[in-house]
Every structure is written in C-alpha cells, then in structure tokens.
A = this chain, B = another copy of it.
Amino acid sequence: MKTDLECVPCIIKQTINTLKISGCSNKLSKKVVSELLQKLENIDYDLSPAANSDIGYIVFREVTGIKDPYYDLKRKYNRLALDIYPKLEKVVDSVKNKLYMAAKVAIAGNVIDFGIDIKKVNTLDFNKIIQDLQNMPLAVDDYDKFRESLKDSINILYITDNAGEIVFDKVLIKELVKLDKKVVLTVKSDPIINDATLEDAVEAEFDNLARVIETGNSNIGINISDSSDAFLEEFKKADLIISKGQGNFETLDETGANIFFLLKAKCEKITRELGVKHSDIVFAESKARPGKSNAVK
C-alpha cells in the first residue's frame, strides 16, 4: 500500500503521541517535530504509510535518546490481558465454532494500539470487549476461505502486532494447535510503539504453544527487505500467514503470499482500502494472491 497525502499529518500526530507518552519537555518535543517536518519534506509516497511512519519514531529516538517509551505500557497491557485470559478462553469454549470465535478474540485484541490513538491509553475496558465479542460483526468476513485454506496448511506464520494483544492472539493460536497446525510467532527485534517484542512473548506465556522468531528489525509492519533470515525462511515456508493489525496490512498487502489480515480499521486510508467504516473489524484474505506479478514467493 502506498502513502497518501493524508498520511503525512497522521505520521506527525503519531510522533506527537509518542512524545506525550514519553513525557518529553515541550522544548525537546518541538525539536523532534521540527526535524520530522524537515525529513517529511521529501517523503516517498511510493512507500507504505507504515514505512513512512517509521521516520517519526526514528527521529524521536535520535533526538530524545529514548529507546522504548512504551515499555511500561507494554508491561501493563500484558498483565491486564493475562488477567482476563481465562474469560477469553471461556467465551471460546461457550460456542460451537470455536475457531471463528477465537479469531474474533484475536481481532478484538487489536484495540490495544497506541500508535494512532492514545486517547484510550488508560481507559480500555476489557470486560466490555468480552461482552461485545459474541455479537461483534465482521465488516469483511473471509473466515470460510480461511477455513478452506487451513485444510491444506500445516505451517502457519502468525505475525503479531501489539503487546497485550498477543495474549488475545494466544487464544486463536491455541485453537490452531488443537488442529495440529505448527505455528511460528513473529515479534519485533527492537521496540517500536507498543509492538510486541520477545519480552512480551515471554510475558504472554506462550511456552511451547508456538515457536517465537524475531523480524530482525523494529520497523512498523514488516519490512521484507530488512528482515532476518529466520523471518524470511518462515515467511516462505508458511502455508498460511495470519497478519495482525494495520501496520502489517500496509506492508504485506501486495506481497501475494497466502495471508489473512485480522485487524480493526483505525484510519480513513485503511477504511477506503478495505471498503469498511472506521472502527470496523476485518478478517480479510489478501487480494494479491499467489501467481500474481507482485508475489514474493
């Protein structure tokens, strides 16, 4: 996906959110914004919004020297999610189509995202999320295609998004393991926003449920050209890929791999791309399927 004009103010807003979270002084914050504006003057609109959003976080790190401003929030949301984990399992156990409900649980977890919107940073109501799960309608629902594709799939690559959210992902991964799928989980090698890293995977207590690998970088979404060998190997080996959140969608929507995108739509650009409304939840098969010219495989 390419960057639109409207992504420019959003990139700046994301950086300002990070400045607020980090508690930087007004003077330092103004310096970060000024340097970011300078960098964005020559923004490459052919790159994905996620790749261009990286610029904001890079400038933030360079100017402030702060490496992981979301560290405490990541700990907090892992804990909160682990607290309600038994309830999430109960919701899945209470229905007939457990895999479908587990997927919904995983998508619901995508609400724990502080890149674009930090308003809810301290007010996320997990109990409300659980209540809503049963009747949560998917604006795009390619579950049947997912179920079909799963039949022929053994190796599943599960590309995570945020800390806290990965506890919700565990519910879906557990269902996949029950179906004898081999799941490899990806996390970021270094901190970026509240994206999950190895520390989060450990805190989320994945244990032997899935093998955890690192992407090799701290890019928002997946930067194929800068990924670790371990990641690229699993990406190619995977029969089916589950991709969580907007950043991964923005960077993987044109790869042509067999990907299912599970996400909550959080900006106008994404809603247009997917033909959905703001805040809609989506379970969408990749439109750039194998055999097409842009396929990575």
Binding site for B on A (CB under 8 A): 5-6, 8-10, 12-13, 16, 19, 26, 29-30, 33-34, 37-38, 40-43, 45
Are B5 and A33 in contact (CB-based, < 8 A)? yes
In the complex, how many angstroms separate the beta carbon of A128 from the nearest chain B beta carbon?
A: 20
| A-B contacts, 14 listed (Cβ < 8 Å) | A5-B16, A5-B26, A5-B29, A5-B30, A8-B16, A8-B33, A8-B37, A9-B12, A9-B13, A12-B12, A30-B45, A37-B40, A37-B41, A38-B41
> Which residues of B sit under 8 angstroms from A40, Cβ to Cβ?
37
Q: How far, in angstroms, from A34 to B5 measured CA to CA in the complex?
A: 10
- In the A-B complex, the 4 residue pairs with the smallest Cβ-Cβ separation, listed nearest first, are A9-B9, A9-B12, A9-B13, A37-B37
The quantity of this chain's copies bound in the complex is 2
- Closest-CB distance, A13 to chain B (whole angstroms): 4
In angstroms, Cα B13 to Cα A260, docked, is: 32
Which residues of B lie under 8 Å from residue A30 when comparing CB positions? 5, 45
Across the interface, name the chain B residue whose C-beta is closest to A13: B9
State which of B8, B10, B34, B41 has its C-beta within 8 Å of the C-beta of A42.
Answer: B34
Residue of B nearest to A26 (CB): B5
When distances are taken between beta carbons in the complex, the residues of chain B under 8 Å from A42 are 34
Contact B37 A19 (CB under 8 A): no
Q: A37-B37, A38-B41, A45-B30 are in contact. Are A12 and B8 (CB under 8 A)?
A: yes
Nearest residue, chain B, Cβ from A14: B9
Tell me how far the C-beta of A46 lies from the nearest C-beta in chain B, rounded to whole angstroms.
11
Excluding A5-B16, A8-B16, A9-B16, 16 further A-B contacts by CB distance (< 8 Å) are: A5-B19, A5-B29, A5-B33, A6-B16, A8-B12, A9-B9, A9-B10, A9-B12, A9-B13, A34-B42, A37-B37, A37-B38, A37-B40, A37-B41, A38-B38, A38-B41
Kindly list chain B residues whose C-beta atoms are within 8 Å of the C-beta of A13.
6, 9
Q: Whole-angstrom distance from the CB of A121 to the nearest CB of chain B?
A: 14
Tell me the complex Cα distance, A12–B12, Å: 10
Q: Which residues of B contact A45 (CB under 8 A)?
A: 30
A52 to chain B, nearest CB (A): 13
* Chain B proximity of A41: nearest CB distance (Å): 5
Minimal beta-carbon separation of A118 from chain B (angstroms)? 11
**Chain B, residue nearest A268 (CB):** B119
User: Which B residue sits closest to A6, measured CB to CB?
Assistant: B16
